């Protein structure tokens, strides 16, 4: 029990030191240098709450790491080892302070990159910081720790009043809870620190040791500036950059409201329209009635399509929900090859056009936790976001994805009906995902039974199982019930409803175009519906569109001027000089890149160097013949695909949030 007592001592000592460092950052940078001047007190308290959880986990790991040293019998030697360690800990605090003073960012693994130029970095440190004073602090700290540990190990420990088994059990429970760091379905993650739009409060919540571990695998930027320069002229022309400048790699574009929405302009709304974006889990085009599926899996979506503007050639940049959320929010495709962009702490700060919807109250609804995929970090770029996630709903949790889609829509509708000001909301469904749960509270939804559909027909129409089909049908039913509730609510008439799939699935039907089967693009071909009777005439649009175009299109519809560096364009503004198309990235090895524009598709395998080039409306899928027939188009598509890929990787690290207010 004496051994456990010493471990507890190391734990509380580490916890105290981490707390004091955070307090020092608040006092010096926050109050003395006034970086916390405009930050609400509740945000600062939240920083300490989340920071405590990071400190708790880190302190537990440190105490476990140091436990073998406690076995050493010689007190002076044991004290020296521990003193050296805690002096090193204080040294990292000093480096953390310096890093924050220089970059307004807590210490992270990018510090290791500086060591690759150690000579220059060391000279900069010597000429910038009072190294001699720091050394004196560490020397006196070593002497203090030496005395502290020597006294501690000489002191006799009183015997515990509980039994040995109970004490060990309590320690084990505390260890598990502390390491997990959360009472939700997801453990504590770095994105928890990014809980609001203020950089200082987010940085204050971080723990330098924990953050170092979080950022270690992302420490090397993945972009190549030389390649970005190489393709700049081509890409800037494609995007319609306002003031091209290759030396500064300027991709900024200023856009005003759409001049022409190709729909009715009568009865304009008295106030800006509301916006409700519904991101539907795994709804590929081939799984819908719109896309020709004969099993009637999406009757509500199909009915809505008849009253909406439907883009029949709409593609997500890649296959994965977290990547899709990133693309929808930032208007940049996720081309990360190490996990997803949402999981990279260095990419957390990105511009989103949602910032420019100043008159709108912002909402995001997800049935589970925003810690999933660390999307919380990206959502943090939306100012004053009202995030509805697990723990904030009255409905029961049905599976790992949280509450059911039907309950999610019901709760969202209750929030919308209470709004007096315009609102911008995103609802992310998750029900059409394994384990394909149909909740007990399913309204009047009637699932299909095995006798209703043969396995052969299921497979032919792109479904692996009856459970999968019923799950999609229930998601579609939930969407239908939401729109029914919305039509009975006062906000409906002045609301733009946007619905699209976050990605498709690796299944095809007989009606899937052959070029999509051959290239794999059917996994990213999803429906896009814009339902806005007040301004848009229902019709089908065959223009190639991408998920990165959603936010610019909404800004144009609402009449919101904005600035962007992204790949997105306003699909309803024919005067936008952006030349359009849809970028594709296969994040599975070998990480293929591609681009579809007009009636051409290009894809490149970076490992084998094999290139695919199709004329999408041709029944003959022969790359060699297509290259011979359209040599100019092939060259343009090839260069543009590679250029966009290099540009996106560069923009990841150069796309900071722009000012919210902008006049065209």
The string of pLDDT tens digits covering residues 422-452 is 999 999 999 999 999 999 999 999 999 999 9
pTM of the model: 0.91
CA-CA distance, 19 to 13, in Å (whole number)?
Answer: 10
**169 and 285 housed in the same domain:** no
**293 and 207 housed in the same domain:** no
**183 and 284 housed in the same domain:** no
Question: Looking at residue 118, what is its pLDDT?
Answer: 59
Number of domains forming the structure of the chain:
2
**333 and 393 housed in the same domain:** yes
For residue 630, the enclosing domain spans 225-264+275-652
- Domain contains 662: no
The string of pLDDT tens digits covering residues 228-277 is 999 999 999 999 999 999 999 999 999 987 654 444 444 455 789 999 99
- Contact, 390 vs 337, CB < 8 A? no
Kindly state the tokens that stand for 370.
């925003």
Question: Looking at residue 263, what is its pLDDT?
Answer: 42
Nearest C-alpha neighbor of 443 from the set 405, 393, 472, 416: 405
**200 and 257 housed in the same domain:** no
The string of pLDDT tens digits covering residues 65-77 is 999 999 999 999 9
Question: Looking at residue 264, what is its pLDDT?
Answer: 40
The string of pLDDT tens digits covering residues 337-367 is 878 999 999 999 999 999 999 999 999 999 9
**260 and 185 housed in the same domain:** no
- Domain contains 658: no
**251 and 372 housed in the same domain:** yes
DSSP one-letter string for 569-630: --TT-TT------EEEE--STT--EEEEETTEEEEE-TTT--EEEEETT-S---HHHHHHH-
**150 and 12 housed in the same domain:** yes
Supply the CATH number for residue 518's domain: 3.40.720.10
450 SS3 class: coil
pLDDT of 189 over the 60 cut:
yes
The string of pLDDT tens digits covering residues 7-33 is 999 999 999 999 999 999 999 999 999
CA-CA distance, 582 to 602, in Å (whole number)?
Answer: 11
- Domain contains 485: yes
- Domain contains 390: yes
Question: Looking at residue 81, what is its pLDDT?
Answer: 96
**442 and 406 housed in the same domain:** yes
- Domain contains 188: yes
**248 and 355 housed in the same domain:** yes
- Contact, 280 vs 479, CB < 8 A? yes
- Domain contains 664: no
Question: Looking at residue 465, what is its pLDDT?
Answer: 95
**293 and 147 housed in the same domain:** no
CA-CA distance, 499 to 512, in Å (whole number)?
Answer: 21
Question: Looking at residue 589, what is its pLDDT?
Answer: 75
Distances (CA, A) of 435 to 321, 431, 462, 465: 16, 9, 18, 12
CA-CA distance, 462 to 286, in Å (whole number)?
Answer: 7
**110 and 62 housed in the same domain:** yes
CA-CA distance, 303 to 290, in Å (whole number)?
Answer: 9
- Domain contains 661: no
- Domain contains 657: no
- Residue 140 has a CB neighbour count (10 Å cut-off) of 11
Question: Looking at residue 261, what is its pLDDT?
Answer: 47
- Contact, 202 vs 349, CB < 8 A? no
The string of pLDDT tens digits covering residues 519-531 is 999 999 999 999 9
């Amino acid at each position: 029990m004496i051994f456990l007592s010493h471990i507890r001592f190391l734990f509380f000592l580490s916890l105290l030191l981490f707390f004091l460092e955070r307090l020092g950052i608040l006092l010096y940078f926050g109050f003395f240098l006034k970086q916390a001047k405009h930050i609400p007190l509740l945000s600062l308290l939240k920083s300490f709450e989340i920071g405590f959880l990071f400190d708790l986990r880190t302190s537990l790991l440190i105490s476990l790491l140091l436990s073998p040293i406690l076995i050493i019998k010689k007190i002076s030697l044991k004290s020296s080892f521990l003193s050296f360690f805690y002096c090193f800990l204080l040294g990292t605090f000093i480096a953390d302070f310096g890093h924050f003073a220089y970059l307004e960012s807590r210490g992270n693994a990018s510090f290791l990159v500086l060591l690759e130029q150690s000579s220059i970095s060391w000279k900069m440190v010597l000429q910038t910081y009072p190294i001699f004073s720091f050394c004196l602090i560490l020397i006196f700290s070593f002497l203090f720790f030496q005395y502290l540990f020597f006294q501690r190990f000489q002191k006799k420990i009183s015997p515990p009043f509980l039994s040995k088994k109970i004490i060990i059990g309590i320690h084990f429970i505390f260890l598990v809870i502390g390491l997990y760091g959360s009472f939700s379905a997801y453990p504590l993650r770095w994105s928890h620190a990014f809980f609001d739009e203020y950089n200082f409060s987010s940085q204050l919540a971080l723990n330098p040791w924990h953050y170092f571990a979080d950022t270690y695998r992302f420490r090397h930027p993945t972009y190549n500036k030389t390649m970005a320069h190489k393709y700049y002229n081509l890409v800037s022309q494609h995007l319609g950059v306002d003031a091209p400048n290759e030396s500064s790699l300027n991709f900024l574009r200023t856009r005003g409201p759409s001049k022409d929405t190709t729909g009715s302009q009568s009865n304009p709304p008295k106030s800006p329209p509301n916006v409700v974006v519904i991101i539907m889990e795994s709804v590929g085009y081939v799984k819908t009635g719109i896309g020709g599926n004969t099993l009637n899996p999406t009757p509500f979506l199909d009915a809505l399509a008849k009253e909406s503007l439907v883009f029949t050639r709409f593609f997500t940049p890649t296959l994965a929900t977290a990547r899709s959320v990133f693309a929808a929010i930032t208007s940049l495709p996720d081309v990360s090859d190490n996990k997803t962009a949402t999981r990279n702490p260095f990419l957390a700060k990105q511009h989103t056009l949602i910032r420019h919807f100043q008159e709108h109250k912002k909402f995001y609804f997800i049935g589970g936790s925003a810690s999933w995929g660390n999307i919380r970090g990206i959502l943090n770029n939306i100012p004053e976001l009202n995030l509805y996630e697990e723990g904030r709903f009255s409905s029961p949790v049905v599976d790992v994805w949280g509450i059911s889609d039907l309950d999610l829509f019901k709760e969202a509708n209750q929030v919308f009906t209470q709004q007096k000001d315009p609102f911008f909301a995103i609802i992310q469904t998750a029900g059409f995902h394994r384990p394909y749960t149909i909740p007990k509270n399913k309204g009047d939804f009637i699932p299909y039974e095995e006798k209703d559909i043969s396995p052969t027909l299921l497979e032919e129409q792109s479904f692996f199982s009856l459970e999968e089909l019923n799950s999609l049908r229930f998601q579609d039913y939930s969407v239908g019930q939401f729109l029914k509730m919305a039509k009975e609510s006062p906000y409906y008439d002045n609301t733009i409803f946007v619905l699209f799939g976050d990605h498709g699935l690796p299944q095809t039907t007989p009606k899937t175009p052959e070029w999509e089967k051959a290239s794999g693009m059917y996994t990213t071909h999803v429906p896009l519906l814009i339902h806005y009777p007040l301004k848009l005439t229902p019709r089908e649009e065959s223009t190639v569109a991408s998920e990165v175009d959603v936010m610019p299109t909404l800004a144009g519809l609402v009449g919101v001027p904005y600035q962007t560096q992204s790949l997105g364009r306003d699909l309803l503004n024919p005067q936008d000089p952006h030349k359009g198309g849809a970028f594709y990235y296969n994040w599975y090895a070998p990480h293929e890149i591609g681009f579809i524009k007009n009636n051409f598709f290009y894809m490149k395998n970076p490992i084998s160097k094999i290139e695919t080039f199709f004329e999408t409306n041709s029944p003959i899928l022969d790359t060699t013949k297509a290259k011979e027939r359209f040599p100019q188009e092939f060259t343009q598509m090839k260069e543009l695909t590679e250029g966009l890929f290099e540009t996106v990787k560069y923009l990841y690290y150069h796309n900071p949030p722009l000012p919210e207010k902008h006049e065209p």
